Chain A
Amino acid sequence: MTPERWQQISRIFKSAILLDNEERAAYVASQCGRDASLRVEVEKLIDSHGKADADEFMNGIAAEAAAPLLTDDEIGPRQDVLSKGQQFGSYIILDSLGSGGMGEVYLARDTRLDRTIALKVLSPDISQDNRRMQRFRQEAKVASSLNQPNILTVFEFGEVDGLTFLATEFIDGETLRDHLHGKRLKLSETVDISIQVLTALDAAHEARIVHRDIKPENVMLRRRDGVVKVLDFGLAKVTEHKYSTLEHDSDPEAITEFRTAPGVIMGTINYMSPEQARASEIDERTDIWSTGVIMYEMVTGKMPFRGSTTSHTIVQILEKDPVPLTKLVKAPAELERILMKAIAKKPGERYQTAKDMLADLRSFQKRVEMDTELKQTLPLIIRTQDDLGRQKKRVLVFALIGMLLVTAAIFAVNVWRSSRFSTSPSVTTPAVAPVERTLTYWITVQKFKGRNPYQEPFTLAGEINFEADYRIRVNVRSPQPGYLYILNEGPASGAPEYNVVFPTPTANNGASLVPAGETILIPKESWLRFDTQQGVEKLWLVFSESALPELDSLKQFASTQTRGLIADPLRNKAIKDYLDSQSTSKPEVEKGESLTTVRAAGQVLVYAIKLEHH
């Protein structure tokens, strides 16, 4: 948003919030006139104003909210209770692994069985705290009763020299939280991790144990082989009667666990189920919910329920539907169905057991594996196609690919069937995925004051609202090599006029072929400037598998003096017709936060970035 736009919004906003609802709507409408986008912005802001009030957003001061951040380093590094090389019962301390609220964790050697273990030593003040001690004991008891490869194994729980300790299997790896690190995971990885978590839960649930605190922090991934271990059964609960409604299993403690001092949230509430948030009856289906939330986060990189404050988050958990997967990422419908079923607000509408969800995920996984296999055979076909006289035979190749696809589909169904009922002999799949072009782009904007750059440049993912002082650079990248052409189409008033933007002698040495995986800056060192006429400008991106002679011939116009302008109306008309004729397959556009990816079936991708002038 530009400062001018912002001022415009602010002028209307400040008077509008003083009015009551009816007057407000009329006032906003009268002030915005025909500028619909202005009106939307103002209304959104008024709405946020109300919500921010209701949420008590920023009512306190930062230092209060962030108080624990300051105390933390005041405490300083905790004094290690044990030191390297020290003997502790039958263990020898090898290293300190870290410390948490409960105590310290060490890497140690079990001298009796000669194996490396993790040793959790409870800090003395916690040993005196009955509730926490209870939790620690609970973890030991529960986890050691569950003997399952996806659950962290507990070896021993005991006391040495007055120190309470827990010896567990040592996992060299990272937590899912660290692994995620704000990004999304690959589909296959997401499914794999989810299946392992559910396998662990299935075993726990079989033993009538509900974990109650499934979150990425409690899912550990072993570095060596990616084996998942579910940790922390410290909050776990043994259910007496399955789904009993007679005995009200109300558990306010589950909630108080998450709160200490007012305003200070202990732990994360984002994975809590609605029934947990209400502090009402909890059973196995709570774990299904939390697993669904984790899956959502793995697929999209975002938590499905997340507010600016605790209460806002709780409202989201209880009442709001998460943003559909398909709005955030390209995800198969089947995955979305599984996920949404896991996070149905009513426990009765979720998967009723981990087993049911596992079964759906496993069959989905099989299908994904099949798809991947199909894709892997693609390069073969492209190579043979290279040998054909490409321009003339394109239609033929398409037909051929089409036939292959049908064959592949039939074949896939057969493999699918046979793999379900028998261990069929392994076969290689003679198949092909559709030919597709992919191009990723983002735009860097540099504001100018007169002839000089002003403020830091910033980047935009997709379309932009253009301001007079903006100059831009287009960044383009593709996983495929190909021939790239960029043309600028001026604001349409009458016949369109084109400028050659790429290739030019100063960009890519006048060559239209760009290598795979390399980011091309257009222009490389300077900025694109546009006239200030109002309307929509277009930047046509054409990305083709083979060179396009029609567009290559435009290189002659790429000169800095004329800014690549093509003056001849006939030629402009010809370019328009050509672009229209190539835009037959509508590209699929995936807008990310910082970049946009465009995909189109076929060998030529044609896409126009719109630059709106105000």
Chain B
Amino acid sequence: MAQKSPQHEITQLLAQWREGNQSALDELYPLVYDELHRLARRYMSRERKGHTLQTTALINEAYVRLVDQKNVPWANRSHFFAISAQIMRRILIDHARRHQYAKRGGGARQVSLDEAATVVMPDQSGELLRLDEALKSLAEMDPRRSQVVELRYFGGLNNEEIAGVLSISENTVTRDWNMARAWLYQQLTGSGAN
């Protein structure tokens, strides 16, 4: 059998996933994860001063690097964006969790360091983890709205792109976002019970 290039492999997996093969997603996931993670870190080290991270630019770059452009129908791009948003969420949540863990761990001896930088992470990562949890509950009630949030907040996509990925109108995206955001706000600030 001819050796597959990684580009070719990813392109094929995307096509299979689009056709409904769920196990293709399992194979796709780690490949895209690694690439996005690598890119995210590179972007961050390059832009560390300003602390900005353009997720869309990053995903676009990953797309160009990972997917064989010539033989790919447009719909694959949407699928790639959808999975990338999911993975960006995972990457950030993984990091957040590790921070919480590192903060708690260490076990035997802990010395408080006087610098504020040591406490910035747990606070921010805590918020992110709580958002992730709330988003999971949302997905149980309303998978589409939770996906809109994932694409926009974690994937950095704009409404037009989201509409394309989910095959819904831009108006619907706006409405979904409004509702989901209000609900998440309620969950995170505790201003309403479920």
User: What is the bound-complex CA distance between A70 and B96, given in angstroms?
Assistant: 9
Chain B residues within an 8 Å CB radius of A105: 111, 113
Q: Is A46 an interface residue (CB 8 A)?
A: yes
Decide: A66 and B185 in contact? CB cutoff 8 A.
no
User: What is the bound-complex CA distance between A71 and B119, given in angstroms?
Assistant: 15
A100 is contacted by which of B45, B113, B140 (Cβ under 8 Å)?
A: B113
Chain B residues within an 8 Å CB radius of A100: 113-115, 117-118
Contacts A107-B109, A181-B104; A68 near B124 (Cβ below 8 A): yes
Decide: A267 and B113 in contact? CB cutoff 8 A.
no
Contacts A68-B51, A69-B124, A173-B110; A48 near B192 (Cβ below 8 A): yes
Q: Is B23 an interface residue (CB 8 A)?
A: no
Chain B residues within an 8 Å CB radius of A57: 181, 184-185
Q: Is A506 an interface residue (CB 8 A)?
A: no
User: What is the bound-complex CA distance between A6 and B145, given in angstroms?
Assistant: 11
Q: Is B141 an interface residue (CB 8 A)?
A: yes
Chain A residues within an 8 Å CB radius of B125: 66, 69
A265 is contacted by which of B113, B124, B140 (Cβ under 8 Å)?
A: B124
Decide: A66 and B124 in contact? CB cutoff 8 A.
yes
Q: Which of B6-14, B64-72, B87-95 contacts A (4 or more CB under 8 A)?
A: B87-95
Q: Is A13 an interface residue (CB 8 A)?
A: yes
What's the minimum C-beta distance from B186 to chain A, rounded to whole angstroms?
Answer: 4
Decide: A232 and B189 in contact? CB cutoff 8 A.
no
What's the minimum C-beta distance from A264 to chain B, rounded to whole angstroms?
Answer: 6
Contacts A63-B156, A100-B114; A73 near B142 (Cβ below 8 A): no
B188 is contacted by which of A1, A61, A215, A308 (Cβ under 8 Å)?
A: A308
Decide: B182 and A46 in contact? CB cutoff 8 A.
yes
Contacts A13-B182, A74-B41, A312-B189; A264 near B141 (Cβ below 8 A): no
User: What is the bound-complex CA distance between A220 and B112, given in angstroms?
Assistant: 8
User: What is the bound-complex CA distance between A220 and B181, given in angstroms?
Assistant: 39
What's the minimum C-beta distance from B4 to chain A, rounded to whole angstroms?
Answer: 31
Q: Is A97 an interface residue (CB 8 A)?
A: yes
What is the interface of chain B mostly: helix, strand, loop, or mixed?
helix
Q: Is B44 an interface residue (CB 8 A)?
A: yes
- Kindly supply a per-residue 1/0 record for chain A positions 509-522, scoring 1 wherever the CB is within 8 Å of any chain B CB and 0 otherwise: 00000000000000
Decide: B141 and A1 in contact? CB cutoff 8 A.
yes
Chain A residues within an 8 Å CB radius of B55: 61-63
Decide: B115 and A97 in contact? CB cutoff 8 A.
no
* Number of cross-chain contacts by CB at 8 Å: 207
User: What is the bound-complex CA distance between A73 and B184, given in angstroms?
Assistant: 29
Chain B 103-146 residues near chain A, CB threshold 8 A: 103-104, 106, 109-125, 127-128, 131, 140-142
Chain B residues within an 8 Å CB radius of A64: 51-53
Q: Is B191 an interface residue (CB 8 A)?
A: yes
User: What is the bound-complex CA distance between A172 and B109, given in angstroms?
Assistant: 6
Decide: B142 and A3 in contact? CB cutoff 8 A.
yes
B124 is contacted by which of A46, A65, A97, A139 (Cβ under 8 Å)?
A: A65
User: What is the bound-complex CA distance between A57 and B55, given in angstroms?
Assistant: 18
Chain A residues within an 8 Å CB radius of B149: 58
- Kindly supply a per-residue 1/0 record for chain A positions 398-435, scoring 1 wherever the CB is within 8 Å of any chain B CB and 0 otherwise: 00000000000000000000000000000000000000
B141 is contacted by which of A6, A177, A178, A217 (Cβ under 8 Å)?
A: A6
User: What is the bound-complex CA distance between A215 and B118, given in angstroms?
Assistant: 13
Which residue of chain A has its CB nearest to the CB of B88? A63
- Kindly supply a per-residue 1/0 record for chain A positions 203-231, scoring 1 wherever the CB is within 8 Å of any chain B CB and 0 otherwise: 00000000000010110100000000001
List 16 A-B residue pairs with CB atoms under 8 Å apart, sorted by A's residue number.
A44-B192, A51-B189, A52-B181, A58-B184, A62-B88, A62-B153, A63-B156, A66-B125, A69-B121, A69-B124, A74-B45, A74-B48, A105-B113, A175-B112, A181-B104, A264-B51
What are the 8 closest A-B residue pairs judged by CB atoms, nearest first? A100-B113, A267-B116, A101-B117, A101-B115, A49-B182, A52-B185, A69-B95, A63-B53
Given contacts A49-B178, A52-B184, A220-B112, 5 further A-B contacts (CB under 8 A): A3-B140, A49-B182, A61-B154, A172-B109, A175-B112
A residues with a Cβ closer than 8 A to B are 1-3, 6-7, 10, 13-14, 17, 41, 44-49, 51-52, 55, 57-58, 61-74, 97-102, 105, 107, 118, 120, 139, 170-175, 177-178, 181, 215, 217-218, 220, 231-232, 234, 257-258, 261, 263-268, 307-308, 312, 455
